[in-house]
Chains A and B, each alone.
Chain A
Amino acid sequence: MSTPHQKLERNGMGFALMILFVASLGGLFEIAPLFTIENTVEEVEGMRPYTPLEVAGRDIYVREGCYACHSQMIRTLRSDVDRYGHYSLAAESMYDHPHQWGSKRTGPDLARVGGKYSDTWHVAHLQNPRDFVEGSVMPGYSFLSETPLNTHPLEGSLIALRRVGVPYTDAQIDTAMVDALRQADPFANYEGDLQDSYGPNVQVRDFDGQPDRVTEMDALVAYLQMLGTLVDFDSFDAEANNR
């Protein structure tokens, strides 16, 4: 009298197990690819963990919600590559926790904005975007130039990032606070030390046009000027990494 369907329906344990199996499929499809992440992330030259000043800038970027209007993901579309440059690589966000790919472009993509403008321009544009771009809807952030950078959380930030896989060394964590202050101080004679510690593509200078102090503007502009500049595309093998 009973179909297989009915048997199953009336067997509590069996049915619960079936539900568990079906529900776990969703998780499986999300988690399984993480085990193959090694062969998703390209091998590239130049990619390095962010310096403490850049981490601070990134935190400000997230705090101010810049990601709500700006993406950091140049897609493999002609229009994107034409306008913003080489498409983004997985490797370029491997030290981002969380990544800033975004899904909304009220303003332009920022994945390769590093080096596109000068510090002076960034500072003045962030203070009042409409001075440079008529009709811009981007808010002004002039208070960043007034707010001294709080470097105390940086050691903790680096430790937290290390826990999720960013390879900071003990020495880098110990000197996080000084490193942040000195990256914005061209007179500290510290460029060599920072580059030895992080890599030759660290930019050391006064970013916010106020040489005598380090503000949140320094951190944010240092972060923006680094975006998209780390990977050495001359040594990038596109053939080997096509997907």
Chain B
Amino acid sequence: MKSELDEASGQHTTGHEWDGVKELNTPVPLAFRVSLWLTIAVAVIMWVLYPSWPGVADYLKGTAGYSSRDRVAEAVADRQALRLQQMPEFAALDIYDLAEDPTLEARYAPAISVLYRDNCAACHGRDLKGQTNFPNLTDDHWLWSGDPGEIEYTLQVGINHTSDDTRWAQMPAFGDGMLETEDLLSVVEYVLQISGSEHDAARASVGADVFENNCVGCHNDGGIGGYENGAPSLVDDAWIYGGSRSTLRETLQYGRAGVMPGWQGRLTDEEIKKLALYVLWAGQDGPN
């Protein structure tokens, strides 16, 4: 059947007929039809240029040589180069030289604080002051010394973390039969004494011997801490877990092994240097 003129509307019909019902031919506006064909044409061009159809053993790679993986590798490298350009010192100098340059903090601290917040604030707090289980980084009381190289190394390998060369710092569980309960309670009183808290003096004097026999190997004479094994000083007011009687008992009973993640692989060498400096700056500013 042919398209015919419909008298009532003055338009043509499509020429189709269903049981006597005919349909007016009112096509979509020309602009729409043109853009439809244009998008189809663009799609065909894209098939040719970019990776598209899967095949049996491979896929059409496209003539433009595009690869999203190459592209992102380039973008990351570009950004890395830009950062080096903006903060050239961090690629050129080692951590000791960086630590001696007094001008860096004013210039770079705001930028580095973003890096710190993204990676470290969850544990050490936005203000670096730490919280229970996670040490304060501003107080100049160090587990592994405040030497810039040591801090950098801690950031690289972490403490008690999964990598093979991580730093190990285990406080043994003395409740597992290593100490009699009486001795354990006494040494707690001794720790309370040397850290300047209220304590039972008679017990503390017994505890001093227990400490001498069991603890000085790691915590050093008088409990001042050692830098080679991550054992903290017990005579200052900086605590990772807490200096109250009940917390000390828990520490002695069950032991402790706090985990600080290692950042090698996750962060670049330059980023690790930046963060090590950031920690050092906070230590210098903080109330010692």
Contact = CB atoms under 8 A, between A and B. Distances in A.
A binds B: yes
Interface of A: 1-3, 5-6, 9, 32-33, 35-36, 39, 76-78, 81-83, 85, 87, 115-121, 124-125, 131-134, 203, 229, 238, 241-243
B133 interface: yes
B67 A243 contact: yes
A85 B266 contact: yes
B69 A87 contact: yes
A117 B123 contact: yes
B69 A117 contact: no
Contact of B51 (A36, A83, A243): A243
B101 interface: no
17 contacts: A2-B1, A3-B15, A5-B16, A6-B1, A32-B54, A35-B56, A36-B54, A39-B57, A39-B58, A76-B71, A81-B72, A82-B76, A87-B69, A115-B161, A115-B162, A131-B131, A203-B162
A117 B257 CA distance: 14
Chain B binding site: helix, strand, loop or mixed by DSSP?
mixed
A117 B122 contact: yes
Nearest to A201: B162
Contacts of B51: 243
Interface in B254-270: 258-262, 266
Contacts of A33: 54
A41 to B, nearest CB: 13
Contacts of B38: none
Contact of A132 (B55, B122, B258, B262): B122
B59 interface: yes
A119 to B, nearest CB: 7
Contact of A81 (B70, B76, B260): B76
Interface of B: 1, 15-16, 51, 54-59, 67-73, 75-76, 79, 118, 122-123, 126, 131, 133-134, 161-162, 258-262, 266
Nearest to B161: A115
A94 B161 CA distance: 27
A118 B69 contact: no
Contacts of A36: 54-57, 59
A168 to B, nearest CB: 25
Contacts of A35: 56
Closest 7 CB pairs of A and B: A118-B259, A78-B75, A76-B68, A76-B72, A242-B67, A242-B69, A33-B54
